[in-house]
Amino acid sequence: MLPYINAPFIYVANLLGAAPDELKLIFSFLLSYPLAGILKRIPDSKPWQKNAYTIFISLFYLVGLFDLWDGLRTLLYSSAGAYAIAYFIKTDLMPWIGFVFLMGHMSINHIIRQRLNEPGTVDITGAQMVLIMKLTAFCWNVYDGRQPEAELSDVQKERALKEMPDLLDYAGYVLFFPSLFAGPAFDYVDYKNYIGTTMFALPPGTDPSKAPPTRKKRKIPRSGTPAAMKAGAGLVWIFLFLQLSNYYYADFYLGPDYMKYGILRRMWQLHMMGFTARTKYYGVWALTEGACILSGIGYNGIDAATGRAKWDRLSNVVPSEIETAQNVRAYLGAWNINTNNWLRNYMYLRVTPKGKKPGFQATLAVFVTSAFWHGFFPGYYLAFVLASLLQTIAKQGRRLLRPFVFEGDGKTPTSKKPYYDVFTWFITQLAFDFTTAPFILLSLSASLTVWARVWFYCLFGVAACFGFLNSPLKPQLLSELKKRNTDAKPGLSRASSYDGTHIGGGVPDDPEKELSEIIREARAEFEKRKRRGSNGLDFKVMLQQKIDEWKRVGGKIKGDAMKVEKEL
């Protein structure tokens, strides 16, 4: 640690009643903005200077600001080990060996952190959690680069590494300072395209006059305004957290004052505990994303509608979608987005044999990975198990109940739809208030104590829902749904029967699976119509109807009908 650097943080911490390390962490997030501005001004023609600069700043953060010499060694061991495994091991087991090594190494640090139990102290586990996502993805990217392209998906082709990066580029990727401590994580190909400025090349056929404005001859578009907006939002969320945490903190819920209120007030205060905890993450992730935007790596092409640069490549959370979520899928899909992408691309899809659909094995693998990645506090596992049950209930409930707030065409909402939306929002928020409490309280005794103080309402609700799903009422609803589907136009996929698979840990639906399904259905329909002598135009109309309906209920495909027709 640099001499005297701790003194001002101790002084301010005593005034605010905060921990010095927490203030230093916020300071590092804010300092990353001017430092990212300097990074962007290093000549595009000298990427080695950008690498050297970002490595130097991260070393300053680790040992100059936090005195994390042991932490620096931890990051070095993980990074060197992953690089060596990817370089020397040529078998199909290589990425799994890398995964076991990296997760095992991090688990040791999680256990040490749990035993020390010093929540106000910044240790290396936060930075290591971000690094684990980057390095496990790196091993898979190297593995994909050694496979025939015909065996890879489009996403895997984009991120495959045909050759190992040089050590300076690799070190710059590992120690990218704007996202060092709290993310967001990203794949090596993103850093490679950023450092080489190919990320900012205009798509073929784009009018150069419509390119985002840059400064002088720099290729990185101007990003000061979106970065400032993210910084402002982050500071507002942090300020809100500091204010609310004076009223809604863990010890209050475990003390006698909490029990002075009635059950409804206690449930409201439980909601506020979760919201207060979320504001901290909203603030931290907004600040780190803003620094990434200012550096340029947050660039995500040009918005076709506005013609302006998009800066959402590394967006990690959408607070408005979480606070207004009407179902489990929407809630989890807007939270910790980059971790969700990591779990989906490098666990959920990787444990599934080629040609097979992801099933329970993939879901279980994601659950276990996400739990171990967070650590070993019992509260994490209570939250994950309950969240997985909520996902099952929500999927079944949506399929069984949502069709009844639409007309027979499955598209036109009835007068009951607004009430359904309010009800599902209320139930979703209420369920997650209960579910996320152990994630905040961490210990088993504290979690069960607070659950008991709100009468275990979510557990009883889950039991009641599973009882309903296994009761005679379910066949009656299915019979009614079948009747409604029979009355609908043939050949159309109903919104009411949408059954998208959403797996544990907040991982979004698998688009490759959904695309394969629509191709399979369309091919079967094509063969049937061909035997009947239907013309191609008739088939194309039917196909477009299927695509439009599928997209309307949440599907996303690049190229729409063109891509499907090409597959056929």
Distance CA 301, CA 319 (A): 23
Burial of 342: CB neighbours in 10 Å, binned 0-12, 13-18, 19+: buried
Q: Which of 105, 110, 271, 374 is catalytic?
A: 374
Residue entry with tokens 């640090």 = 109
Distance CA 479, CA 483 (A): 6
Provide φ and ψ at 221, rounded to 5°: -65, 160
Residue entry with tokens 């905890």 = 277
* Residue 199 near residue 158, CB atoms below 8 Å: no
In Å, what is the CA distance from 47 to each residue of 139, 194, 290? 23, 9, 22
Residue entry with tokens 């919104």 = 495
Distance CA 555, CA 500 (A): 9
**Residue 221, SS3 per DSSP:** strand
Question: Which structure tokens are listed for 30?
Answer: 């804010």
Question: Which structure tokens are listed for 307?
Answer: 């013609």
Task: Tell me whether residue 374 is one of the annotated catalytic residues.
Answer: yes
* Residue 340 near residue 321, CB atoms below 8 Å: no
Burial of 210: CB neighbours in 10 Å, binned 0-12, 13-18, 19+: exposed
| Single-letter amino acid code for the residue at 389 | L
Distance CA 106, CA 84 (A): 17
| Single-letter amino acid code for the residue at 497 | S
Burial of 38: CB neighbours in 10 Å, binned 0-12, 13-18, 19+: exposed
Residue entry with tokens 């704007």 = 178
Please count the other Cβ atoms lying within 10 Å of the Cβ belonging to residue 259. Answer: 10
* Residue 43 near residue 199, CB atoms below 8 Å: no
* Residue 382 near residue 447, CB atoms below 8 Å: yes
Distance CA 542, CA 532 (A): 15
Question: Which structure tokens are listed for 140?
Answer: 């898979």
* Residue 358 near residue 343, CB atoms below 8 Å: no
Provide φ and ψ at 214, rounded to 5°: -125, 170
Distance CA 489, CA 88 (A): 58
Active-site residues, by number, are 374
